[in-house]
Structure 1
């Protein structure tokens, strides 16, 4: 029966991993024109699989997503809707271990896999064109998406966005100190809604003083830290992370849970580690950076990800 449906609707699903992503720099600022650096995180991801009886939550997600696509992409369709519906009818779904509401791009993985399997593509399409299509798809989940999360998952490459130009990159051996500080994902154990947090931040920027701090102080730091990262200037990069961490305690205080904020401030005061947002904040994962091999904190459930920062894919 499955083969008959696949033949009827003409679909063949890619057999590969769509990785999660890490936004190293650019939280919120990328939505306001700053540079951003994102890398794949293949310890989490999703693959197409088949199930005889799809779970009700998956069916509800698909129903809402398909309705959204029919409404918002009807004038310029870029997905094979019939093939997509046929695949879902045949019992195909995305088997994912990407934690939801944690800042690792679970919705981006979903959109990347959908576009890879059912996108109407041409040989000359550019990454910017792909990003725009993925952005429209991911708006279903977040209200306002940059399109970068699914772009990383779709190409499985590290991305540097600058002045609306997309570059795939690898780090360089540079600077006097090539030692990369350790980086962990700190699990707060809390869920959050990206759309709610983004809306709250947009209201925050309506205040003139908040806008001045964000655009005149914070965004230049993002540009500086991005530059050091791309050059492999790890000592300077680590110093810049400290600046980001300090500014985020002021600008993004509502996005930092109280217990995390306490640990965050202790790190800044002791200078033994620094924390920053991973994605929208509010819950999920937070970054923890340190030159130490181990960091001992109460209830610290960390995932060491340093190796993924230095093993990037060149275009």
Structure 2
């Protein structure tokens, strides 16, 4: 058995904000992917994955919900036969490793599943997101369901609000100088502690005000600019967003990158933002001149995501 491939995702804009109903824009990232496979001789990562699937199975058995049901007998049988998730998506890096796994399990074992080929109405997208949120909560404690949704559909997803999401098109890539890139922090980040930290910060009125007045405003503007191809305005808004994140989300930025982050804002060589919940993994970069950014960040590993 070898299941279909499910890809990584990148949340270009909207991290943390989407928990509080800002806009979000997520795109598939086909450089990394995973699929369910079966092997009789499990060792290393495959064995670890199989153990994790056993725990996930127990979680799904106890899931008390009307909105989805699974063929759990078949799921258990496959796990007992040595099923694992064979994935190149780095874990704890903010690009949806658990999302791809959740999408693959839903695809194979959900009864009456919503398929990618049918007419994806807003109601169906909301239902899928709800199902995925329930499923992925096993991994993160609290999940928006967006990562698995993106991986499952393999389409860019625009989140207008919790109740309003749509598959969208993004401008086709150009052979320009500008780029979106990933910067490898070479540290693993854990989602759950970061989300808890954010929820604690939300108890502070000043933080809540900053979130709605600054963070959400710049996030929404960035999304609009990106989708419309307003590159000049996009970089101006990304710079402001980068400043807001550095000032207010410092605990989510690995310590070794505070100065690197600031350097980008001061030199305009690049602007950094969180990729997912932060705390490690990838950091997302935007630059009007990728060659200049590479020279400025020569001590770090960069990966190209999108060209302007």
- TM-score w.r.t. the length of structure 2 is 0.89
Question: 2: CA distance between counterparts of 1:188 and 1:171?
Answer: 27
Partner of residue 127, structure 2? 129
Compute the displacement of 1:293 (Å): 3.0
Q: Matches of residues 1-315 of structure 1 in structure 2 within 5 Å?
A: 15-55=3-43, 56-73=47-64, 77-121=68-112, 126-163=124-161, 164-172=163-171, 179=176, 181-294=178-291, 295-296=294-295, 297-307=297-307
Question: 1: CA distance between counterparts of 2:209 and 2:130?
Answer: 29
Q: Structure 1 residues 95, 59: closer, same or farther in 2, change over 3 A? A: closer
* Structure 1 unmatched ranges of 5 or more: 1-12, 311-315
User: In 2, are the aligned partners of 1:181 and 1:238 still within 8 Å (CA)?
Assistant: no
Question: 2: CA distance between counterparts of 1:168 and 1:109?
Answer: 17
Question: 1: CA distance between counterparts of 2:264 and 2:113?
Answer: 49
Compute the displacement of 1:211 (Å): 1.0
User: In 2, are the aligned partners of 1:178 and 1:234 still within 8 Å (CA)?
Assistant: no
Query: What do residues 91-112 of structure 1 show as CA deviations (whole Å, max 9, x unaligned)?
Result: 2222100000000000000100
The alignment's C-alpha RMSD in Å is 2.0
- TM-score w.r.t. the length of structure 1 is 0.87
User: In 1, are the aligned partners of 2:178 and 2:287 still within 8 Å (CA)?
Assistant: yes
Comparing 232-241 and 51-60, the one that deviates more = 51-60
* Structure 2 unmatched ranges of 5 or more: none
Question: 2: CA distance between counterparts of 1:117 and 1:145?
Answer: 21
Query: What do residues 36-79 of structure 1 show as CA deviations (whole Å, max 9, x unaligned)?
Result: 10000011010222211234422321221111112223665521
* Residue correspondences, number: 293
